[in-house]
Amino acid sequence: MEPSGSALALARRFESLRLTAYQDVGGKWTIGYGHTQGVVEGQVWTPSQAEAGLARDMVLAGEALSRHLEEDVLVTQGMFDALSDFTFNEGEGRLAASTLLRLVNQGDKEGAAGQFGRWIYAGKVVQPGLVLRRLAEKELFES
Query: What average pLDDT does range 32-41 have in this prediction?
Result: 96
Cα 138 to Cα 115: distance, rounded to the nearest angstrom: 9
CATH number for the domain whose boundaries are 5-142 = 1.10.530.40
Query: What average pLDDT does range 15-34 have in this prediction?
Result: 93
Residue 129 has pLDDT above 80, yes or no: yes
Name the residue ranges covered by the structural domains of the chain: 5-142
Q: pTM for the whole thing?
A: 0.94
pLDDT tens digit sequence for 64-110: 999 999 999 999 999 999 999 999 999 999 999 999 999 999 999 99
Residue 25 has pLDDT above 80, yes or no: no
Structure confidence at residue 123 (pLDDT) = 83
